[in-house]
Structure 1
């Protein structure tokens, strides 16, 4: 025995003596904490620390049984060494339920009778199965290191799997919130952008949809449920699906909005929750539309002259869910032969400008879109630029959900009197 080793009890009951250097107490050496559970008749784990040749320092705690161990299983315990007793694998199963995130080693005698086959403990959930007759300080510290790393790898893989499953589930929900437009047969181009206000979220309370019914009418809608979080997102999905079903069933205008209000009143979790909505019914010839506003900002129309203008909003009605007997008036809109319509939620216009309290607002948005149109931006590029500039003006991410929908109609060249190549490059 060297001068740096502590005398131990003998090798009774099959335990080997573990050398524990006295002088290596360097706090900079990475340390692991081992909790030993069970009887230790040979006094193998009485020393507070042990080392191996690689410099691994292991602090040792002791518990006589699982009841005592439950109090000692704190977050700084890296590994548990369970000395199996007459309960066999049942005590291991109990330990795994107590410490699902902690590495576990089991220690038995040289026979397999206590736990069945040696691999059975590992199959149940332990990281390794050690035998008393092979135990020494170097072997134990190496087993602890490997067990801790295997457990970390297992937990990382589990978290990765859970994250992937959550992402897949969120993607399925997102597809319900952000639908594919049904515009077959319409001479319109569609583009949309959506950005939830919650950090790392895929879903928000904004919702939109666009469909073409059998009579050739194109119906577009955008809305915003007050509040944030999954409840608002779920309600937005419900309203969008209800709108699509009711539209295909032939409802429109005031009757459609009244029915959607009933859906909201029955599905909302709080009587204070409301939703704003904007609907457009574009005639089959594309030259005119009926607009209904329920507490929502008016769309932006850009005609053949290339100048964007806000549609009238004075005749709009209240948001859904505010007044039990509300009514909504039709606003007739002349679109012309060639036009672009932008529907948006208030998240786009409520961002701040610079360091002050001034917000972008509708007038600021009109000026922003005017500049971007003059710069030749159209379609998805226009929407990307609008959301990006609003974010930059805000000095960072916009805190509210943002949804923007763009519908473009370009008249045939014979109507505009333009060469075909110019017609293809416009919009």
Structure 2
């Protein structure tokens, strides 16, 4: 039954030219809202024997016709918006939906309509189930119905494509989040009376992991080892290198290395794993004696920790003879300094992201260690400790900066209340 057509026009050269097959879902119709339909049918009379339809909304539908799938592949150019597949086309091995499945594989981003007779409603429904946007009955078809079906199919396919991309994006984000969470450390402090807290905030947007890294473990002799470090840069390569250094530090610590020997070995790891010789990392390590009253401290170009003892005001640990950052000098040395902690104390280790923010919105001057120390003492005076202290510190630094911090921030807090010793 030929389709009633309100308007016809000669087929322009662009409509008859065979373009290279490169099926892709067009971003939409042209500037005039026109659509292009590719019809695949083997009816010699041609169900759609006209080059163009014009619907009530003024949308023109240009029509291309192919007698078989081979010809359809030649006519399937980038400006095709929708494909109408005749389910009466012969399929390989008697597969009734073989031609439709072939088209769905050939043009996964195109809208597809299935054409059949009203007496074959079951196959029409099956066509929609396997991937067609809709079905049309040949004996009920007219120009208005076809034009509307094409528009709806194109919009439905576009919406489906968007939903698929959103779902894929969510899955990738979830996978990345699980991966990055798996790369964050789990402190190993079983048997220790020390309390542990940490906060981590990467500078990269939508990332869970940056170039900062930290870890804490207790070795069989009762010593608690903690470290915090910062790989220069903020990208995924720096994040990966930070994870490698953290894992190496844990392995070397359990192997019995400490102080200069440990840092020298870590520098070798850095030199072998970094992308370029310009990459370096700062590091701060502490090893707390089994009695919890003293610690060894090594600094490799890293900010010195701060400590509060017996509830008094926090202060920066004095350390003027630390070594250079890892990766700067091939034969560097990192002296270990003994620090007396006392019976009750809190030790806070941090990366420079905590001190390089601004002193206030619009200010040019950095917060610095002195500004951080003042802020921490104010929060301690307000009764904050542990997780609450770190959460408040990171939040206030961000607020002072007037917005998101551009650098990664890692803060680690170890505390001992002095009871039982």
Q: TM-score range by the shorter chain?
A: 0.7 to 0.9
Return the offset for 1:131.
4.1
Provide the residue aligned with 2:351 in structure 1.
Answer: 345
1:246-301 deviations in whole A, cap 9, x for unaligned? Answer: 11111111111111111111211222111111111011111111111111111111
Partners of 1:45 and 1:307 in 2: CA distance: 88
- Give the distance between the partners of 2:101 and 2:276, measured in 1 at CA: 45
| TM-score with structure 2 setting the length | 0.80
Alignment of 1:188-199 (within 5 A): 188-199=194-205
In the alignment, what sits opposite 1:154? 160
Partner residue, 1:382: 389
- Shift of the 57–177 alpha-carbon distance from structure 1 to 2, 3 Å rule, reads farther
Question: Which residue of the partner structure matches residue 36 of structure 1?
Answer: 37
Q: Give the equivalent residue in structure 2 for 1:362.
A: 369
- How far is the alpha carbon of 1:95 from its aligned partner? 5.3
Query: What corresponds to 2:178 in structure 1?
Result: 172
Distance 2:214 2:170 in 1: 27
1:396 to 391, 394, 403: 403
Residues 122-141 of structure 1 mapped to structure 2, 5 A cutoff: 122=128, 125-141=131-147
Per the alignment, residue 327 of structure 1 pairs with 333
* Unaligned stretches of 5+ residues in structure 1: 1-13, 22-29, 416-427
Q: 2: distance between equivalents of 1:191 and 1:97?
A: 53
Judged with a 3 Å threshold, the aligned counterparts in structure 2 of structure 1 residues 59 and 318 are, in CA distance, closer, same or farther, namely: farther
Residue 122 of structure 1, CA deviation: 4.4
Could you say if the C-alpha distance between residues 108 and 61 of structure 1 is closer, same or farther in structure 2, counting changes exceeding 3 Å? same
Say whether 1:233 aligns with 2:275. Answer: no
* Separation in structure 1 between the aligned mates of residue 213 and residue 267 of structure 2, nearest angstrom: 15
Contact 1:312 / 1:331 at 8 angstroms: preserved in 2? no
User: Is contact 2:112–2:153 with CA below 8 Å preserved after alignment?
Assistant: yes
Cα drift, residue 145 of structure 1: 4.9
Does residue 101 in structure 1 map to residue 101 in structure 2?
no
8 Å Cα contact 1:226-1:275 kept in structure 2? yes
Deviation digits for residues 349-394 of structure 1 (CA, Å, limit 9, x no counterpart): 1112321321111111011111111111111111111111111111
Deviates most, 332-341 or 177-186: 177-186
Counterpart CA distance in 2 for 1:87 and 1:293 is 77
Q: Secondary structure at 1:405's aligned position in 2? A: strand
Partner of 1:279 in structure 2?
A: 285
Q: CA RMSD in A?
A: 3.1
Matched, 1:262 2:262: no
> Which range is displaced more, 83-92 or 400-409?
83-92
CA separation of 1:93 and 1:295: change in aligned 2, threshold 3 A = farther
How far apart, in 2, do the equivalents of 1:70 and 1:145 lie?
18
Aligned equivalents of 2:276 and 2:133: distance in 1?
A: 49
CA contact (8 A) 2:228 2:351 kept: yes
Kindly state the Cα deviation for residue 111 of structure 1 after the two structures are TM-superposed.
9.5
* Aligned-residue offset at 1:230: 1.3
Structure 1 match to 2:150 = 144
- The residue number in structure 1 matching 2:4 is 17
CA displacement 1:31-68 (0-9 Å, x = unmatched): 965321147946555335313xxxx6644234454434
> Cα 1:234–1:59, aligned 2, differ >3 Å: closer, same or farther?
farther
**Contact preservation (8 Å) 2:35, 2:61:** yes
Closer, same or farther: CA 83–31 of 1 in aligned 2, 3 Å: farther
Distance 1:310 1:91, change over 3 A: farther
- Give the match for residue 420 of structure 1: none
Q: Hey, what does 2:54 align to over in structure 1?
A: 49
Q: TM-score, normalization: structure 1? A: 0.79
Give SS of 1:293's match: strand
The count of corresponding residues between Structure 1 and Structure 2 is 382
CA contact (8 A) 1:290 1:330 kept: yes
- Closer, same or farther: CA 69–303 of 1 in aligned 2, 3 Å: same
- CA distance in 2 between counterparts of 1:241 and 1:49 reads 67
Q: CA deviation at 1:138?
A: 4.3
Q: Secondary structure at the match of 2:62?
A: strand
Alpha-carbon shift at residue 109 of structure 1 (Å) = 7.2
In the superposition, relative to structure 1, how do residues 350 and 273 fare at CA in structure 2: closer, same or farther (>3 Å)?
Answer: same
